[in-house]
Amino acid sequence: MARPAVINSLSRGAQILRLLAEQNSALGATEVAERLRVDPSTAYRLLCTLESHGFVTQDADTKKYSIGYGILAVASSLVRKLSVVEVSQPYMRALSTRTGENSHVAVRDRLYAVSVGSESATGILRVETTIGSAEPLHCTAVGKALLAEHTHAMLLEVYGGETLKRYTPHTITTLDELDAELSRVRRVGYAFDDEELHPGVRCIAAPVRDHTGHIVAAFGLSSPAVRLTRERIPDIAAQICESADAISAQLGYTQAAAVLQ
């Protein structure tokens, strides 16, 4: 197996951040160099670079370095995702108990919806969602829920002029189709995946918003198509929207945030 490409300076920078994060007191450039067994001038240049991005801070008097508040800006994204999972857990459990189907929460990572929380379905014939699995935004219910506020111009920025990949005969493959579908999501409050990624699987999902009013996750349900019939969709969709609204409220979303968005 080929060895993964590693940029040494980035690797050293990551080591410095871990080192400073573990310390109870600040360290000087020479101390950092000794701990990491690098040349002092190398340690100093790396510290200066990290300081320029706010990841470390230097005391004006002692000239020693400690972890900077810039780390919080990076870490806060993960914290928000973890908070969504924690808040969503009882709603996933309740929905799966009521319906017998798999419920899950996903967040966006570029062109994909990544599962960060899941509650298993019951029964022999069921759909399972693996934590960490990534599925395309354009052909999944959670993905379309995550894209719900995107205009056609925003979709062009995300996808360019490329044709969307087809996975089944039901997959949306043009931006015009996706734009129309997102308009429907905004109108009815939930997204629907009608066997668009996996044949025989249907999904419903609704957006989850934070205190700023922005969509930060999608709360959804997946089921074999033979059980998630069109007659069941209105009832299941209502339950999902109610749960997504409750999760959003716990994350600080209010009607005032909706107006300000």
**From the first residue on, what is the mean pLDDT of each consecutive set of 10 residues in the chain (261 residues)?**
70 92 91 93 94 92 91 72 88 95 94 93 79 94 98 94 91 96 98 97 97 94 94 97 96 67 54
Give the pLDDT of residue 113. 96
Residues of the chain with CATH 1.10.10.10: 8-68
Q: Which of 235, 216, 250 is nearest to 105 (CA)?
A: 216
Give the pLDDT of residue 1. 43
Is the domain spanning 8-68 CATH 1.10.10.10? The answer is yes
Give the pLDDT of residue 24. 85
Give the pLDDT of residue 4. 62
Give the pLDDT of residue 259. 47
Cα dist. 4→1, 7, 17, 54, 127 in Å? 9, 10, 22, 28, 34
Integer Cα distance of 232 and 251 in angstroms: 29
Residues of the chain with CATH 3.30.450.40: 76-260
DSSP state of 146: H
Q: pTM here?
A: 0.71
Options 1.10.101.10, 3.30.450.40, 3.30.1740.10, 3.40.50.300; CATH of 76-260: 3.30.450.40
Question: What radius of gyration do the chain's Cα atoms show?
Answer: 23
- Residue 37's region, left for phi above 0, alpha for psi from -120 to 50, else beta, is left
